[in-house]
Amino acid sequence: MKIYPTINIIGLGYIGLPTSLIFSKNGYKVHGTDIKKETISILNKKILPIEENGLQELFESSLRNGITFSEEVIVSDFYIVCVPTPYLPKLKSIDPLFVIKAVEKVLNFCKPDSIIIIESTISPGTIKKFILPLVEDFNKKTNKHIHLAHAPERIIPGNMIHELVTNSRTIGADDEITLDRVVEIYSSITSGKIVKTSILNAELTKVVENTFRAVNIAFSNELLKLGSFYNFDPYEVIEICNLHPRVKILNPGPGVGGHCIPIDPWFLVGDWPLHTDLIRLSLETNESMPEFVLEHINKIKSKHGVKNQRIGLYGLTYKEDVDDIRESPSLQLISLINKNLGSDLISFDPTLKKIVVPGQTLSYEEFLNQTDLVVIMVKHSHLKNNFLSLKSKIILDTHNYSPKDVSNNRYLLSDSL
Ligand code: SAJ
């Protein structure tokens, strides 16, 4: 009979929780740790604190397999650190403090030869600068031979479970034995290819992947602006170009949000400012999009005589069908509007069950009753069944998501108003 190693996952958020459940489902003895009492108490009541397709079934099978949760770190063969790395906008960098604290906690409990795997998003060089010295110092004092690895998470909210079990994984470690031990556990949860590399290269790949996407989106946003200045339809041009077998331009929109695409590329610019002009310009292009939306709102407002109090934002999350609002274009737009129009816009988001900004309503009917101009900021599936309800509204569709005849007054960001 196969003897499975024990795994302690630290940080039970969007990444850590699904990851613990997948390992547990695959036979590992898994313990989940989180400093938030509330998260642990909910999980111990057999309730999931986050919503994601397929997560409930996975949770039930992990409970049957004996997964446990507590605020404590326990003795294990592997520790997988999935704690947040908050973004510090002024410094354009992440704060590694939670990762450092998690590793310190593990070092207090671990047995000889255990492996600490960092999954949290970190900027290149973080492990060498902040984590390795802690572990080396500990090994010198205790002779416990604790090893480090980096396995950056790469799953996309909304399709997490599928991606967890099919995506290829990059595993970075600086010695062969650790690499092989870590590869063994990850290859048992994913059918994707597992790539072995150094810790630094693993850190870099994650940031480079997200930078590639940010630059590609910036390119499409620039095309969108060109379309509006020079009177062509950028959506059609992009669609036609994408028929070429080697061209894949992403979609223009009201800006980029989430914890990765608008942030990770700044790590490269921050570390190597002299040689990252293209990346910096791309980030600035994406960051300029909420302002571009505001210019359109102002022009439509004047054209139709819409009052500030009758403008409504549909969608507050950073993308469709997730309930995550981090760095969302809508929040960026709201803070611009507060500065410029001085009013709290009405807003509605079908994925949010709580009020997160002033002026937000939890009722779609109320949202419709209170608005004349509806700005579609997010392509939630909810709207697909509700396009008819927008018939009498003035629409600014920042994604070209709605049908052309959704209303008699429909505008796109590509329109030169
Ligand atoms: N967006 C566009 N146009 C597009 C695609 C996206 O404007 O064509 C916007 C979205 O609306 C959103 C933002 O970009 O505001 C980011 O969304 P996303 O779907 O591109 O990415 P995330 O942040 O949900 O997840 C990314 C993924 N990285 C890549 O695809 C390279 C995911 O695989 C990573 O795990 C995740 O970042 C991460 O944690 O790094």
pLDDT band at 340 (very low <50, low <70, confident <90, very high): confident
Residue of the CA atom closest to atom 35 of ligand 1 = 154
Dihedral of the CA atoms 112, 113, 114, 115 (nearest 10)? 150
Atom of ligand 1 nearest to the CA of 210: 31
Q: What share of the chain is helix, strand, coil (3-state, %, to 5)?
A: 45, 15, 40
Q: Could you tell me what percent of the chain has a pLDDT over 70?
A: 99
Instruction: Write the single-letter amino acid at 252.
Output: P
Q: What per-residue confidence (pLDDT) applies to 3?
A: 83
Question: Is pLDDT of 223 > 80?
Answer: yes
Question: Is pLDDT of 175 > 90?
Answer: yes
pLDDT one-digit tens code per residue, 356-399: 999 999 999 999 999 999 999 999 999 999 999 999 999 999 99
pLDDT band at 51 (very low <50, low <70, confident <90, very high): confident
Q: Taking residues 144-166, report their average pLDDT.
A: 93
Among 410, 93, 416, 376, which Cα is nearest to 233's?
Answer: 416
Q: Which of 154, 261, 268, 326 best tests ligand 1's pocket when mutated (most atoms within 8 Å of CB)?
A: 261
Question: Is pLDDT of 296 > 90?
Answer: yes
Q: How much distance in Å is there from the Cα of 338 to the middle of ligand 1?
A: 27
Q: Ligand 1 pocket: which residues have CB below 6 Å?
A: 121, 153-157, 209-210, 213, 217, 250-251, 253, 256-258, 260-261, 318-319
Q: How much distance in Å is there from the Cα of 157 to the middle of ligand 1?
A: 9
Signed CA dihedral, 91, 94, 95, 96: sign only: negative
- Rounded to the nearest integer, the mean pLDDT of the chain is 95
Token digits for 3?
Answer: 């003897």
Q: Give me the active site residues, please.
A: 206, 260
Contact 32, 73 (CB under 8 A): no
CA 290 to chain centre: 19
Instruction: Write the single-letter amino acid at 84.
Output: P
Q: How much distance in Å is there from the Cα of 139 to the middle of ligand 1?
A: 38
> What DSSP character marks residue 2?
P
Token digits for 43?
Answer: 């999980």
Q: How much distance in Å is there from the Cα of 300 to the middle of ligand 1?
A: 29
Please state, in angstroms and rounded to a whole number, the distance separating the CA atoms of residues 214 and 282: 7
pLDDT one-digit tens code per residue, 77-126: 999 999 999 888 788 788 999 999 999 999 998 999 999 999 999 999 99
Atom of ligand 1 nearest to the CA of 206: 40
Please state, in angstroms and rounded to a whole number, the distance separating the CA atoms of residues 194 and 176: 14
Q: Taking residues 7-31, report their average pLDDT.
A: 96
For helices 329-340 and 289-304, the axis angle rounded to 10 degrees is 50
Q: What is the pTM of this model?
A: 0.91
Q: Taking residues 263-274, report their average pLDDT.
A: 91
